[in-house]
Amino acid sequence: MVVSPEISRYNAEATREGAWEAYVQADRVHRTLYTDEQVFNEEMVKVFGHTWVYLAHESQLPEPNSFLSTKLGLRPIVVTRDRHGDLHAVFNRCAHRAATVCREEVGVAKSFQCPYHGWTFKNTGELVGAPWPQGYGADFDKSKLGLGKVTRVQSYRGFIFGTLSESAPSLPDYLGEAKPWLDYWIDRAPNGEVIVRSAAHRMGYRGNWKLAFDNGGDGYHPSFSHRSLLEMASRMGDSKDMSYFGKTPDDGPMKVYSLGNGHSVIDQRPNFEGPGSIWANQRPQPGREKFEELIRSKYPEDADRLLDVSAGAQINLSIFPNLLLIGNQIQVIEPLGVERTQLTWNATSIGGVPEEVNTMRMRTQEDFPAFGEPDDQANFEEVQRGLAVSEEEWILMNRGLNVDGWQTMDENGVIVTAVTDEIHMRGYYEEWLRLMNGEAK
């Protein structure tokens, strides 16, 4: 195979001139987007700096002066509530010598003191003081030496996002056609009360961060990647959850929606009909039978609804660049390096339901991610290994492209297509390309 010399490796000079189109074509992307450290570094600035990035859920900061340590791309940040309950996000980097000022994951604090030299900052970022200030001279100006701040922080129904861009659209506009799907996911809870309080389930893999986003909207892989899980489900009946992916999914009722701005969603709900059908078609799980007996005996008139909200939402919603909603769980993609990524899962409980329902929601993690996610991460690592073949330059995302009868457009201009269409990749790379080229929205 002949290697194209002009793009056989990342060309920084070319990309500064807006030539990323050579790397992202209609049906394929170049391997260096997953392997080159300079590409990764530029993504951390342009993608994770210039668009809205999911940071945390409001329920993780339950009271005034709460804080949560997280990241914006590679940037360590602390999301805080001030004493009035307002949200902020500050860089976890002392203005003095760059040490992190907060070294706890969660907690309550009115201020942070840098453990290195004792500089102290309010939880809104302002410098309170430095030890022995006479050593800094007369021009020492505390007002100019606070913690750096994430330029814009907004919340949509409890989901907190941040961006360093003044010119990014408003958060609701950025979410766009993903909002109704996010609303559906939230509104399964009575009064829309979603609670993220459990400890995180973290998994690391040796591969590029985009491999997880490639997979999030991919309805093609379950028949093969999750074969052991599907075989177990099929033994319990053809309609058990996810077994339908093994039955020629192109001909089935499931669809993938390309939502714009890099977002997409897989809708599995057409496989389920009627109250209680989501619960009835779940895979085997320890304690399910006793749990169902309990719910039906204690809440007979509301049992079907309570059982259904104990199970997953039956959508896979991908919000570019780092948020995936899978089942009842929030998955966050956290880049660590060009070939290192961490996935952080948070199970969710909900308000307005019996305690037993939330116990079962917690136990869903014993199924997926605990059972299914290792399959995906093994694939991510094997893809990264395969990308070492420099003579093979391209990764294809051509399934469903120009296939007659697959794609339609709904009344909102959203493209709807077969669940195995790779339109989710083509859609998010369009947004990736815009950001990497520095183009205005």
Fold match, 54-156 / 172-436: no
At 236, the pLDDT band (50, 70, 90 cuts) reads low
For tokens 């010399």, name the residue: 5
d(CA 82, CA 66): 8
Q: What is the pLDDT of residue 152?
A: 98
The count of residues in the chain is 441
- 54-156 — its CATH code? 2.102.10.10
Integer-rounded Cα radius of gyration of the chain: 23
- Please state whether the peptide bond connecting residue 321 to the residue before it is cis, i.e. omega within 30 degrees of 0: yes
Domain 172-436: homologous superfamily in CATH: Naphthalene 1,2-dioxygenase Alpha Subunit; Chain A, domain 1 (3.90.380.10)
At 368, the pLDDT band (50, 70, 90 cuts) reads confident
What is the tens place of the pLDDT at every residue in 380-406?
Answer: 999 999 999 999 999 999 999 999 999
What is the tens place of the pLDDT at every residue in 58-98?
Answer: 999 999 999 999 999 999 999 999 999 999 999 999 999 99
Q: Encode burial over 40-79: b for 16+ CB neighbours within 10 A, e otherwise.
A: bebbbebbbbbbbbbbbbbbbbeeebbbbbbbbbebbbbb
Least confident of 17-31, 138-152, 308-322: 17-31
Q: What is the pLDDT of residue 239?
A: 52
What is the mean predicted confidence (pLDDT) over 161-173?
A: 97
At 2, the pLDDT band (50, 70, 90 cuts) reads very low
pLDDT exceeds 60 at position 8? no
At 241, the pLDDT band (50, 70, 90 cuts) reads low
d(CA 332, CA 311): 20
Instruction: Count CB atoms within 10 A of the CB of residue 412.
Output: 11
Domains of the chain, by residue range, sit at: 54-156, 172-436
Compare 230 and 295 and report the one with higher pLDDT: 295
At 169, the pLDDT band (50, 70, 90 cuts) reads very high
Q: What is the layout of strands, in order, in the sheet containing 152-156?
A: 53-57, 159-163, 152-156
Least confident of 125-134, 171-180, 183-192, 282-291: 282-291
pLDDT exceeds 60 at position 101? yes
Q: What is the pLDDT of residue 5?
A: 43
